[in-house]
């Protein structure tokens, strides 16, 4: 997960700016920076929780690979959706992405009534790709121990994120962070 030392650039993930390098995988950039992104299978193209929407700089990223072609519907691709575990930065420039889990979180907080429609849409997009998805996964020879290790690492990372969120919430409640959450 170490970042390279050449072609340093800026990438915006979920409205926050980070440094990245040509050759970095989107999932790794997000994880190194503790950004909100799904990665339950540890980056093995199994869980489909690492989807991101590319808002800017899609041409700077690696082309869709076999896994993405099998899992992402034409609709999702046309909306700029990529799998963060399968996509790397290929050229320096400005890249802006938002993770699908962050989009869902924002929707839950601000427009909860839209969640059902959104879930239905994503379910439909998965359904239309089901034959391709099954075809891809049946061809793959996965090292189960490696996948298990990745999943355990992903779960550890998820707990770390939850821990950070709880710590910042506790700081807010006790008034140690200086934000406005305690007021009212």
Least distance from ligand FES to the Cβ atom of residue 61, Å: 15
CB closer to ligand FES, 29 vs 85 = 85
CB closer to ligand FES, 122 vs 171 = 122
3-state SS class at 60:
helix
Q: Which residues bind ligand FES (CB under 6 A)?
A: 39-41, 43, 45-50, 83, 85
Spatial distance between the Cα atoms of 82 and 180, rounded to a whole number of angstroms = 35
Strands 16-21 and 51-56: unpaired
Least distance from ligand FES to the Cβ atom of residue 168, Å: 25
Spatial distance between the Cα atoms of 38 and 67, rounded to a whole number of angstroms = 17
Distance of CA 4 to the CA centre of its chain: 20
CB closer to ligand FES, 5 vs 88 = 88
Least distance from ligand FES to the Cβ atom of residue 184, Å: 38
């Amino acid at each position: 997960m170490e970042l390279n030392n050449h072609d340093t650039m800026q990438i915006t993930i979920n409205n926050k700016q980070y440094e990245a390098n040509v050759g970095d995988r989107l999932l790794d950039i997000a994880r190194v920076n503790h950004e909100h992104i799904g990665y339950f299978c540890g980056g093995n193209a199994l869980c489909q929780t690492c989807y991101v929407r590319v808002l800017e700089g899609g041409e700077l990223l690696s082309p869709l690979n076999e896994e993405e072609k099998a899992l992402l519907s034409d609709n999702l691709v046309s909306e700029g959706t990529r799998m963060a575990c399968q996509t790397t930065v290929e050229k320096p420039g400005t890249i802006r992405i938002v993770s699908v889990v962050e989009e869902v979180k924002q929707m839950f907080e601000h427009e909860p009534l839209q969640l059902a429609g959104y879930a239905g849409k994503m379910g439909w997009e998965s359904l239309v790709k089901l034959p391709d998805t099954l075809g891809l996964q049946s061809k793959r020879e996965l090292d189960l121990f490696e996948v298990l290790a990745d999943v355990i690492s992903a779960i550890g990372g998820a707990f770390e994120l939850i821990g950070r969120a709880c710590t910042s919430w506790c700081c807010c409640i006790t008034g140690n962070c200086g934000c406005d959450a305690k007021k009212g």
